[in-house]
């Protein structure tokens, strides 16, 4: 609608839709963000463990409007010949059109494949695969972790890592034994044992929006304008587990500052995980 001064004015929702870049710039240039957060502020994070009673371990994580559910299924399988006393961990993330209009149905997108590969690389060092052994060379536990995104509003990676960590901590494996005569594995559910993790991982994501503003925990609108991204993962002792920077240049000092901020975020996530 045109105002009396002859200048075009829009309702704020209209402006946001037709000039998304300019809309974000108006906020970012004033050192704030469109949802009122500071640049280094993460959204409220909630974690609930054991949300799927039929899985061996599960969790639901919310970071703002991003919702991620993780379920872990344990199945008995034969170990790899080259590693006879080690179990398996497989990770998969499902980014379906259900969670955002930017995902297409069908085969997993490149983003989903990259995300599940990254989850695997991070967590393969956290689970003691030897503890998944039932009978050397005969039977081991294979943990299949499926992360499903229900609502995608940016920062999928953080939500997936927290969801997977929470679900792994929730895993209870029944006492299993192999009958050497029949070759059948029987499980005693009354003697369930909690899976012990060797390392806990706490992620913090940062996005370089419009090539100039480095913001923590970008939502979907900000991520669309992002030209670069940085993922920092810390472990329970505050040591680094992963620094992963892609896209546009992020200065060496800026990365160091993000690692500092990730330390503060680690405490917040640890509190949410209880």
Tokens of 102: 């930017």
What's the alpha-carbon Rg for the chain, to the nearest Å? 22
Q: Give me 115's structure tokens.
A: 């995300």
In the three-class reduction of DSSP (H, G, I as helix; E, B as strand; rest coil), residue 13 is classed as: helix
Least distance (Å) between residue 180 CB and other proteins: 34
Least Å distance, CB 245 to other proteins, is: 4
User: Smaller CB distance to other proteins: residue 11 or 81?
Assistant: 81
CB 66 within 8 A of CB 151: yes
Nearer to other proteins, 39 or 120 (CB): 120
For residues 162 to 201, the per-residue mask of contacts with other proteins, x marking binding by CB under 8 A and - elsewhere, is -------------------------------------x--
DSSP-derived letter for residue 24 is H
Please report whether residue 121 would count as binding other proteins according to CB under 8 A: yes
Q: Are strands 88-94 and 139-151 parallel, antiparallel or unpaired?
A: parallel
Smallest gap, in angstroms, from Cβ of residue 231 to other proteins? 10
Among 116, 152, 155, 207, binds other proteins (CB under 8 A): 116
Among 35, 78, 117, 179, binds other proteins (CB under 8 A): 117
Q: How many CB atoms lie within 10 A of CB 180?
A: 9
Q: Pick between residue 173 and residue 226 the one whose CB is nearest to other proteins.
A: 226
Structure-block tokens of residue 80: 């790899």
Give the nearest distance from C-beta 254 to other proteins in angstroms.
Answer: 8
Q: Is 21 in the site for other proteins (CB under 8 A)?
A: no
- Tokens 């398996």 locate to 88
Nearer to other proteins by C-beta: 6 or 106? 106
How many of the chain's residues bind other proteins (CB under 8 A)? 33
In the region spanning residues 221 to 260, those forming contacts with other proteins, defined by CB under 8 A, are 227, 230, 235, 239-252, 254-256, 259
Instruction: Map residue 9 onto helix, strand or coil.
Output: coil
> 59-64: long-range contacts at Cβ-Cβ below 8 A with a sequence spacing of 24 or more?
59/163, 59/166, 59/167, 59/170, 60/163, 61/159, 61/162, 61/163, 61/166, 62/159, 63/155, 63/158, 63/159, 63/162, 63/217, 64/153, 64/154, 64/155, 64/217, 64/219
> Which of 150/255 has CB closer to other proteins?
255
Tokens of 96: 């379906």
Q: Which two tokens stand for residue 172?
A: 């209870």
Pair of tokens at residue 24: 């974000």
- Nearer to other proteins (CB atom), residue 125 or residue 183: 125
118 lies in the site for other proteins, by CB under 8 A: yes
Q: Site residues (CB under 8 A) for other proteins? A: 110-111, 113-114, 116-118, 120-122, 125, 199, 227, 230, 235, 239-252, 254-256, 259
């Amino acid at each position: 609608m045109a105002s009396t001064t002859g200048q075009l004015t829009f309702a704020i929702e209209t402006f946001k839709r037709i000039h998304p870049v300019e809309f974000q710039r108006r906020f970012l240039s004033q050192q704030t963000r469109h949802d009122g957060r500071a640049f280094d502020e993460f959204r409220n994070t909630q974690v609930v463990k054991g949300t799927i009673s039929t899985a061996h371990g599960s969790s639901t994580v919310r970071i703002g409007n991003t919702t991620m559910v993780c379920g872990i299924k344990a199945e008995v399988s034969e170990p790899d010949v080259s590693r006879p006393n080690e179990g398996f961990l497989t990770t998969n993330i499902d980014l379906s059109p259900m969670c955002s209009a930017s995902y297409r149905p069908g085969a997993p997108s490149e983003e989903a494949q990259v995300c599940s590969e990254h989850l695997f690389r991070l967590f393969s060092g956290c689970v003691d695969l030897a503890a998944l052994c039932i009978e050397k060379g005969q039977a081991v536990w294979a943990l299949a972790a499926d992360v499903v995104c229900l609502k995608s509003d940016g920062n999928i990676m953080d939500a997936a890592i927290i969801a997977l960590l929470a679900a792994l901590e929730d895993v209870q494996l029944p006492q299993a034994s192999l009958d050497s005569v029949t070759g059948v594995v029987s499980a005693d559910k009354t003697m369930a044992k909690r899976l012990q993790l060797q390392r806990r991982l706490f992620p913090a994501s940062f996005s370089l929006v419009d090539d100039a503003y480095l913001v923590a925990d970008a939502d979907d609108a900000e991520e669309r304008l992002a030209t670069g991204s940085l993922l920092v993962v810390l472990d329970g002792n505050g040591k680094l587990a992963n620094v992963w920077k892609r896209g546009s240049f992020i200065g060496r000092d800026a990365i160091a500052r993000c690692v500092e901020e990730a330390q503060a975020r680690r405490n917040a996530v640890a509190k949410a995980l209880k």
